[in-house]
Amino acid sequence: MSKTKRNGGLRFQPAGGSRTPQVPTGKKQRLTIERLAGDGRGIAFVEGRTWFVSAALAGEEVEARVLNAHGKVVEARLERVFTPSPLRREAPCRHFDRCGGCNLQHLAHSEQLELKQRLLAEQLQRVAGVVPEQWAAPLSGPEFGYRRRARVAVRWDQRAAKLEVGFRAEASQDIVAIDDCPVLVQPLQSVMRHLPMLLQSLDKPRVVGHVELFSGTALAMLVRHTGPLHDNDLARLQAFCSEAGVQLWLHGEGEPAALDSAASLGFVLEPWNLELAYRPGDFVQVNAGVNTAMIEQALDWLAPQAHERVLDLFCGLGNFALPLAQKAAEVVAVEGVQAMVDRAAANARSNNLNNVRFFQADLSQPVSVSGWAAEGFSAVLLDPPRDGAYEVVRKIAALGAKRLVYVSCNPATLARDTQELLKQGYRLKRAGILDMFPQTAHVEAMALFEVDQPR
C-alpha cells in the first residue's frame, strides 16, 4: 500500500483541539519572579505556564534558560539578573552555577532561615489549619563547614576515557568536577582536594561506583566497587588513606567492611558522654552541631521523668534513645531495619545503658498491636523519614502518651500527620525549624504535641 493511499490525503487533528507547542530546551526567556517555591526556586508566570527558576529570588527581573518543560510547567536555570533583589549575595562557592547541591547560596543565611520558617508555617496552616501556640527560635549553627558526611559521585566517561569525580549537576545526571566543597567539615575538605587525582590514577577506575566520606571519631573513606579492585589500585588507596590518616572501607558484595578489621568508627554525643558506633552507609545526621542542639531541645520539650516509660520510633543507631535512657525509667526504641536495631542495641550496651530495649517493626503500619506497645507510654518521640509516620500517628493516642515530640525532615508530611494528631485530642504546643542543611532549601522541623488535660 502506498503512503498516499494509506493516509488517504487527510489530516487528523488531535482530540481536544490544537496542542500547545512545547517550550524548547535551551530557550531563553525574560521573567519577573513573583515568589519562591518550597524548594527555593523562583516562580514566574508567562502565557499560562508556571516557570520554576533556580537561583532566582522574589521580585527580580531575570533571564532564564529552559532545562526542561512538561505541560504547563517549565524548569529553568538563571542566566542573567536585570534587577537584583536586595537580598541577593554573591554565592560563596565557585561551583554554585553548576552543582546541584547547595541551591540557596545566593541568599543571605538569615533570609534562608526566614524562608524555611515561612514554608513550615504555610504547610501547617494550609494542610492542618493550625498555628503552634508558641514558635521556637530556629536551631542553627555555622552556615559552612558543617557537613560530616558526603557521597561523592564517580562515573567513567567512555567518550573521554576519563573518570569523572564530583557531585551531580542540577536537574541532571552529569557530574560536576569538584575538588573543594565549603560545606564539608574541614578534615573532609582536605581529603576532597586530593580525591579526584587519586581515583583518576587507578588502573581500573571503571569498577568504582561511588565514594563516601565521613568524619567522626575517625576519618573514613568508603569505596563502593562493582568489580574486583586491581592489586595496584588497592595499594594506591591504602597508601593515600595511610598518609591522610583516613580509614579505608570497601563495599563490594555484602556489607561494607574496614580494610583493617580492628578499625573503630563512630560519633560522640558530648553533652551525654555517649559514643555511638557507625558504619559507612548507616543513617546519621550530617550536621553534628545542630544534631546536638536538636537532641537537647527534644529532651527539654519531651521532659522525660525518672519514673516514665518513653517510646522512640524510627530510632536508627540510638541518636535519641540513648540520651533519653539517661533520664527515663525505661525506653523502648523501634526501627524498621534489623541491622540498625542490632547496632543500636550494641551501642546501648557499650555505653552501659540497660534500661533501653530495641525492637524491629514495620513502621508503615500501626504500632498499637505490637507486644512492646501493650504497656503504654508516658511520652513518644518520632523521627520518621520524608514520607512521615501517617499509619503510626493514626493510632498513637491508644498508647496513652500525653506528650509527643515529632522530628520531621518534610514539612508537608509533618502537616499531614499533625492533622491526624489534632483529631486525637493533641494540641500543637510548639514548633520550630532545625537548620540541618544550610545553603539548601531542605527544611527540618520539630513539633511538640500535648493532650488536652481535663478541666
**∠ Cα 365 367 368 (to 5°):** 125
- Sheet containing strand 444-451, strands side by side: 134-135, 426-434, 444-451, 403-408, 379-382, 309-313, 330-335, 356-360
pTM tops 0.75: yes
Whole-Å CA distances, 313 to 203, 330, 358, 434:
46, 14, 10, 19
**315 is known as an active-site residue:** no
CB 165 within 8 A of CB 195: yes
Nine-digit cell string for 133: 501556640
Where does 113-142+287-451 sit in CATH, by number?
3.40.50.150
Distance CA 7, CA 10 (A): 6
Interacting residues of 88 by C-beta distance below 8 A, sequence separation 6+: 57, 60, 81, 106, 107
**pLDDT confidence of residue 453:** 66
CB 438 within 8 A of CB 109: yes
Burial of 39 (0-12, 13-18, 19+ CB in 10 A): middle
**pLDDT confidence of residue 13:** 47
CB 321 within 8 A of CB 276: no
Give the right CATH number for 23-88 from 3.40.50.2000, 3.10.20.30, 3.90.340.10, 2.40.50.140. Answer: 2.40.50.140
Element (H, E) at 151: strand 149-157
Question: Looking up cell 532545562, which residue turns up?
Answer: 67
**pLDDT confidence of residue 2:** 41
Task: Judge if 23-88 and 149-258 fold alike in CATH terms.
Answer: yes
Per-residue pLDDT in tens (0 to 9) along the chain, 455 residues = 444 444 444 444 445 545 567 889 999 999 999 999 988 999 999 999 999 999 999 999 999 999 999 999 999 999 999 999 999 999 999 999 888 889 999 999 999 999 999 999 999 999 999 999 999 999 999 999 999 999 999 999 888 888 999 998 876 778 999 888 999 999 999 999 999 999 999 999 999 999 999 999 999 999 999 999 999 999 999 999 999 999 999 999 989 999 999 999 999 999 999 999 999 989 999 999 999 999 999 999 999 999 999 999 999 999 999 999 999 999 999 999 999 999 999 999 999 999 999 999 999 888 866 788 888 999 999 999 999 999 999 989 999 999 999 999 999 999 999 999 999 999 999 999 999 999 999 999 999 999 976 54
Closest of 370, 384, 300, 289 to residue 332, by C-alpha: 370
Nine-digit cell string for 85: 533583589
**Count of residues for the chain?**
455
CATH topology of domain 149-258: OB fold (Dihydrolipoamide Acetyltransferase, E2P) (2.40.50)
**pLDDT confidence of residue 361:** 93
Nine-digit cell string for 79: 542566566
**pLDDT confidence of residue 11:** 43
- Domain boundaries, given as residue ranges, for the chain: 23-88, 113-142+287-451, 149-258
Distance CA 223, CA 207 (A): 10
Interacting residues of 293 by C-beta distance below 8 A, sequence separation 6+: 139, 141, 434
3-state secondary structure of 322: helix
Whole-Å CA distances, 218 to 213, 267, 319:
11, 8, 18
Distance CA 57, CA 41 (A): 8
CB 44 within 8 A of CB 51: yes
The amino acid sitting at 157 is D
**pLDDT confidence of residue 179:** 83
b/e per residue 370-404 (b: at least 16 CB within 10 A): eeebeeebbbbbbbbeeebbebbbbbbbebebebb
